[in-house]
Amino acid sequence: MRPTATLGDHRRVPLPAFAPTLTDGVVTLRAHGPSDVDGLLTLAADTETRRWTAIPQPYGPAEARRWIENTVPAGWRDGTVARWVVEEDGRFAGQVDVHLDRPPFIGFGLVPTARGRGLMSRALRLAARWAFTQAGRPVLHWWAEVGNLASWRVAHACGFTFEGTRRQAVRRGDRLVDGWFASLTAEEEPTPRTTWWPVPELVGERVRLRPHTDADVPRIAEACSDPRTRHWLPTLPHPYTAESAHGFVLGCRLAESLGEKVTWAVADRADDRLLANVSVFRLDDAMNPTGGEIGYWAHPDARGRGVVSEAVGLVVGHAFAPRAEGGLGRHRLQIGASKDNAASRRVAERAGFALVGEVHQDAVVGVGADRTLDDGVWYELLAP
């Protein structure tokens, strides 16, 4: 008897004994065959694949043939896992899996030469449609180790809703790691739920705004360990380590994918050394969908040189530029600061922001015995 899948609450759907061919005219999902050994070896040897998956090592021709001849057919026979080769122009590009057990979830991978062209998003939409309409699954789950932005980009493009981070929830060999989780239901369109904001390079006279790099980590840790920074930003981790800095950068990238904020490293144009950090956040505020707030901090050796003011000016121009022209399409920006934070207030005023009000006992500043509530001031700037 063929395995069946429950569809809704009352029907059961027979599952095929082998992979049906699915195509959208650009990518094709098909059954595995003997000619796919070399493609599987290329995938298994890839550094990124080995970093983010539990693919066995070493992985040679014998392992690839065992996968094609035994593992894949067994999943189709017992109705537990539907696996396809992803093919482009007749060439092996990768593979995609739909695990049909409860809860149903997906997995996928591409060879390096097939990445960056949206092929896996197309493949995942084909597999998801089959899972919903042919296998009768009401939902598909996605998860990956925290930091796997490439995998999340595919799931995001296919309409998966990000559900959060779970600690030590993903198995990697003999260890558990933190994971990101998301899901897509049969009723939802396979299109992005949120705007994934890009981080374009913005160039001024002395500074260049760009995404963070690994080289910025020591400078971020130094800036966020500085007593003056900690006084005005008392919620920063303490001690602030390189791991804290890595977590900060990763959090910025995730927030961009969720439509929440855009963050730049402010780098010296001459030597690319990180001087400061600037963000536009609250981009997902439902009550003010074209507003935003700017925040910033500077490395101690960059203070008093006007680099943050120049960076904020560049960000303001980008924020007010129409989305059709690559900007953020904002109509109003605001900056909040502690009333006594003269340096932060000077940046706002130099950028043309107008003081619009004060708030008593607005936020905590200081650390340890110096911790206290400070009054706040708010500035705003409207689009020209």
Mean pLDDT of the chain: 95
Domain boundaries along the sequence of the chain: 4-185, 202-382
Whether 147 has a pLDDT exceeding 60, the answer reads: yes
* Share of residues in the chain with pLDDT > 90 (%): 92
pLDDT digits (tens, 9 = 90+) for 53-71: 988 889 999 999 999 999 9
Q: Identical fold at 4-185 and 202-382?
A: yes
pLDDT digits (tens, 9 = 90+) for 342-371: 999 999 999 999 999 999 999 999 998 889
Which tokens in the block code for residue 276?
A: 């400061």
Whether 170 has a pLDDT exceeding 60, the answer reads: yes
> Where do runs of H (alpha helix) occur along the chain?
37-45, 47-52, 61-66, 72-78, 119-133, 149-157, 217-225, 227-232, 242-257, 307-320, 342-350
- Nearest Cα to Cα of residue 301 among 337, 269, 274: 274
SS3 for 309-351, per residue? HHHHHHHHHHHHCCHHHCCCCCCEEEEEEECCCHHHHHHHHHC
Please tell me the distance from the alpha carbon of residue 33 to that of residue 44, in angstroms, as a whole number: 17
Please tell me the pTM assigned to this model. 0.93
pLDDT digits (tens, 9 = 90+) for 82-138: 999 999 999 999 999 999 988 999 999 999 999 999 999 999 999 999 999 999 999
pLDDT digits (tens, 9 = 90+) for 241-251: 999 999 999 99
Q: Dihedrals φ, ψ of 361, to 5°?
A: 45, 60
Per CATH, which fold does 202-382 belong to?
Aminopeptidase (3.40.630)
The residue behind tokens 């998301």 is 182
- Nearest Cα to Cα of residue 282 among 232, 212, 322, 333: 333
Residue 87: how many other CB atoms lie within 10 Å: 22
Q: Which CATH number fits domain 4-185: 3.40.50.2300, 3.90.1010.10, 3.30.465.10, 3.40.630.30?
A: 3.40.630.30
Specify the pLDDT at position 7: 42
Question: Coil, helix or strand for 177?
Answer: strand
